[in-house]
Amino acid sequence: MRFCMATIVFLCVASLVPTSIASSAAAAEPDSVSLKKGDRVRVTIAGMKAVCIIEEMQPGILDLRSSETGALQHVRIADISSLEIRAPRSHGAGAGRGAMIGGGVGFLVGALYGIAVSAAFNPSPSETGTLGVAGGIGFFFIGAGLGALGGLMVPGVTWKPVPLGTQIEVGVSPNGTIGVGITIPIGGS
């Protein structure tokens, strides 16, 4: 009986591993970074971090409106020590996390349900534990499935950092539009 329960628990945990590996591999893929008017950014200047919305982009200056106070700040690009851009995650990015949370909640609910049913029929204490574990395992799969579905359907938000050492340039193109360029040094010194 112990071998059977240990095998079932192992299979429950192992079923989550491919999902979490796939979601962490997707998070590790590099994405291109581009700024435009209206983007929400997280800026660190002189050790202070703020979430702002880009209002205007001028050569060497970003006009940022604080999300917290609504104040408009003219920030020199040279003064920015770190910059992160808010970006939506794909719909499937939260499936692994949703499955783990749902599975944990499902296991707890199932274990409590199994213990309650066992206590109602008043069997021996060893049967109470067995029914609690069996209920937990059964509800684990239900909770993990519902959590994975929730994670698939709800798009999340993430912050994409612009690595330190990058150069951000704002300029006017020949046709008169303002553009932002980000240069990320690769290798070398």
Q: Is the pTM of this model over 0.75?
A: no
Please say whether the beta carbons of 74 and 63 come within 8 A: yes
CATH topology of domain 36-89: SH3 type barrels. (2.30.30)
Give residue limits of the domains in the chain.
1-26+90-159, 36-89
Q: From the centroid of its chain, how far is CA 109?
A: 26
What is the per-residue pLDDT across 114-130, written as a single tens digit (0 to 9) for each?
A: 888 887 886 677 777 78
- pLDDT of amino acid 55: 92
Instruction: Tell me the H-state helices in 93-174.
Output: 95-121, 125-153
Higher pLDDT, 32 or 94: 94
What is the per-residue pLDDT across 22-72, written as a single tens digit (0 to 9) for each?
A: 444 444 444 556 778 888 989 988 888 899 998 988 877 889 999 889 999
Banded model confidence at residue 109, pLDDT cuts 50, 70, 90: very high
